Amino acid sequence: PAQLVLVSTPIGNLGDVTSRAISALRLADIVLCEDSRVTQRLLFALGLKARLESFHDHNEESRTPRLLEAMRRGQKYALVSDAGTPLMSDPGFRLVRAAVAEGFGVTALPGPNAAVTALTLSGLPPHPYLFLGFPPPRGGARRTAFAALRAAEAAGLSASMIWYESPHRVAEMLADLQTVFGDRPAALARELTKHFEQVRRGPLSALIAGVEADPPRGEICVVLGPHDPEAEGQPAFDLDARLRDELTRT
């Protein structure tokens, strides 16, 4: 039996919890979680009680050696994040890497994931795809990151791309996507699995106009369609001086 179980939890709809997730939460000696209030609420809704320990970006590094020590003594952990699949823009990677390196049994219970849900609803080609997590929050670093992807496209990459983004930054992010990638098909998926689920699809220019007219609230994924070498109106890779400048500075 695994000593570390990665347990996916709902991304907004309790009905998406799996029966394996429920068993794993019941059986774990300790449930490692990000925000104990969030996980407590989930456990309460499922009629479960569990011993929780905090495990988040800020203490993952320092906690990992102690967790490995406890696993050596036979302790069994379940790892959850606030929502969705652990490790996917959430803590856990360093712990998994260390547990695997020590030969502990690690398993994952698949379940909700916002990125894949958004991709399947986007109407854009599902593969190949790149999951990119959150883009850098600051404009310069964000455009540099996009320009690097655009350079990879110039070298032959053709994949749909998925990001997580906060509603406060989505307008700037879409504008930067258009600057770097041109007016390409894209999708904005918000509040997936929840009451106000909505997917907006269209060329970036239309999504940008829509965001201006009706700013999206809640949780958002952005999906960008793949590079199409045949399509017109895409910026040539000779990006403007500012972007080139940013690229050479990093």
Listed in order, strand segments (DSSP E) in the chain are 4-7, 30-33, 52-54, 77-79, 106-109, 129-131, 160-165, 185-190, 198-203, 220-224
Strand 185-190 relative to strand 198-203: parallel, antiparallel, unpaired?
antiparallel
Contact map string, positions 89 to 118, toward ligand SAM, x by CB under 6 A: xx----------------------xxx---
Q: How far is the CB of 48 from ligand SAM (least distance, A)?
A: 20
Among positions 164-193, residues that touch ligand SAM (CB under 6 A) are: 164-165, 189-193
Count Cα neighbours of 3 within 13 Å in the Cβ-side half-sphere: 18
Q: Does 18 bind ligand SAM (CB under 6 A)?
A: no
Q: Does 83 bind ligand SAM (CB under 6 A)?
A: yes
Q: Which is nearer to ligand SAM, 68 or 146 (CB)?
A: 146
Among residues 3, 39, 85, 178, the one that binds ligand SAM under rule CB under 6 A:
85
Q: Does 84 bind ligand SAM (CB under 6 A)?
A: yes
Q: Which is nearer to ligand SAM, 84 or 226 (CB)?
A: 84
**DSSP result, 67-122:** HHHHHHTT--EEE--SSBSTTSSSS-HHHHHHHHHTT--EEEE----HHHHHHHHT
User: How many residues in the shown chain lie near ligand SAM by CB under 6 A?
Assistant: 23
Q: How far is the CB of 188 from ligand SAM (least distance, A)?
A: 9
Q: Does 135 bind ligand SAM (CB under 6 A)?
A: no
CA distances in angstroms from 80 to 99, 153, 238, listed in the order given: 16, 35, 44
User: Which residues form the interface with ligand SAM (CB under 6 A)?
Assistant: 11-12, 81, 83-85, 88-90, 113-115, 164-165, 189-194, 219-221
